[in-house]
Amino acid sequence: MRLKKWMMALLVPVLLLCGCAGQKQEFTITDVTVQDVKDMADAGDTFLLLVEREGCDFCQAMNEYMEETKADHPEVKLFRLDTTDFDLVKEQAENKTLVSETEEGKAWLELQPYFLYTPAIYRYENGKADEAAIGFNVVTDEISLWDTTSTIDFDTAKTEGLWEFLER
Please tell me the distance from the alpha carbon of residue 164 to that of residue 114, in angstroms, as a whole number. Answer: 24
Dump pLDDT digits (tens) for 108-149: 999 999 999 999 999 999 999 999 999 999 999 999 999 999
State the pTM of this model: 0.84
Q: Which residue has the higher pLDDT, 94 or 77?
A: 77
Is 30:102 a contact under the CB 8 Å cutoff?
no
Name 37's Cβ contacts closer than 8 Å, sequence gap at least 6: 49, 79, 81, 111
Is the C-alpha dihedral spanning 26, 28, 147, 52 positive or negative?
positive
Q: Which residue has the higher pLDDT, 21 or 102?
A: 102
Is 83:108 a contact under the CB 8 Å cutoff?
yes
The per-residue pLDDT for 124 is: 98
